[in-house]
Amino acid sequence: MSNAAYWLPIVWAVLAATAIFIYVVLDGFDLGIGILFLGETDETHRNTMVNTVAPVWDGNETWMIYGGAALYGVFPVAYGTILPALYLPVLFMLLSLILRGVAFEFRSRMISKHSKFFWDWAFCLGSLVAAVSQGAILGTLIQGIKVEHNTFVGSPWDWLAPFPLFCGFAVAVGYTLLGATWLVWRTETDLQTTMRKLASVLAVAMFALIGLASLWTPYLHVTYMNHWTAWPQIVLVLPVPVAVLAIAAIFGWAIYARYRLLPFLCTLGWFFLCFTGLGINIWPYIVPPTITIWDASSPPSSQAFLLAGSVFLLPIIIAYTAYSYYVFRGTVTAEHHYH
């Protein structure tokens, strides 16, 4: 294997993983705010919650498109194998994101209570189904996809298994925590107080779910177990659970001391550690437990061509995203309107 054939898939795996993580973080609190509509009945509070993400919510999904395009262009074998296994949860996710986007725009134009109620629930349902679908997709990938001769040979219903459904629930809880801590940071008065209390409960739930996932995942495959228990890998991975515990302590202190931004940063830290743990589990497989990133990659010339395009495209996306968040920074109240 030439140097380019070895290193380019690694570079692209890091780029694709980074794009997916940024999407999870940015759209995570966005979807979490929609899920929080389940418990928030005050119309003014709901409008304020939506107004905190109104200027940035559609731009957040740019990163999902970039990650999907990278998978299609750089790892075509993985794209052709993973997609047939995940047609249904991917379809559910896309439909729910469309429903959510339509509800987002329509709810601000409704006058009657009934129509407003309908679009509020459409927004909530779309957010919840999208979050659960993304978790089920992740869980199916970690659980492993049945492949023979680089072709999917499993059932389209493989995602309806205990571990993928558990991941769907866990991701929904995680996104809701992201949404609650985002609102602690960006709002004030009664809404902020309510979200601070809710964030405390959700953080306990997420901590328990991280612990359960950490105990469950190594038993899915021997490879995963070796990554977490064999010497000397255990020295490299031990900081991950220690950091999870440290962030839990900081989160509790931040809530008690009534910090505004720190709970959100702690939640981002938990997501980063979970993502890191996922990477440790499946490396170097892109379709666990059989197809590696080198097995799935396109010719080096194609990867190099796409990489040259990304050198121009990525700075534009990063600059646009950063500028949007900078312009619409600060506390949001019911008087702020972006529609």
- The radius of gyration of the chain's CA atoms, rounded to the nearest angstrom, is 21
Contact partners, residue 99, CB within 8 Å, separation at least 6: 122, 125, 126
The CA distance from 229 to 89, in Å, is 32
Distance CA 266, CA 254 (A): 9
Q: Which of 91, 17, 65 lies closest to 285 in space, CA to CA?
A: 17
The identity of residue 125, as a single letter, is: L
* pTM of the full structure: 0.93
Flag whether pLDDT at 339 surpasses 60.
no
Query: Which residue shows structure tokens 């492993």?
Result: 144
| Lowest mean pLDDT segment, chosen from 61-65, 89-93, 168-172 | 61-65
Domain map of the chain by residue range? Answer: 3-202+295-328
- Strands (E) in 200-293, as ranges, are 285-287, 291-292
22-26's contacts with Cβ under 8 Å and 24+ in sequence apart are 22/63, 23/60, 23/61, 23/63, 23/64, 23/67, 24/134, 24/271, 24/275, 25/178, 25/268, 25/271, 26/56, 26/60, 26/63, 26/321
Distance separating alpha carbons of residues 99 and 155, to the nearest angstrom: 27
Q: Note the pLDDT of residue 336.
A: 63
Q: pLDDT class for 335, splitting at 50, 70, 90?
A: low
Distance CA 339, CA 328 (A): 14
Three-state SS for 72? helix
Mean pLDDT score, 75-89: 90
Structure tokens at 143: 């659980």
| 210/178 Cα distance (integer angstroms) | 15
Please write the tens of the pLDDT for every residue from 194-253. 999 999 999 999 999 999 998 999 888 888 888 777 777 777 788 888 999 999 999 999
Q: Are 195 and 37 in contact (CB under 8 A)?
A: no
User: What residues pair up with 151 in beta bridges, in sequence order?
Assistant: 148
**Distances 5 to 13, 104, 269 between C-alpha atoms, Å:** 13, 44, 33
- pLDDT at position 41, please? 83
Is the CB of residue 216 less than 8 Å from the CB of residue 166? Answer: yes
Check: CB of residue 126 under 8 Å from CB of residue 106: no
Confidence of residue 337 (pLDDT cuts 50, 70, 90): low
Q: What is the pLDDT of residues 162-199, one digit of tens each?
A: 999 999 999 999 999 999 999 999 998 899 999 999 99
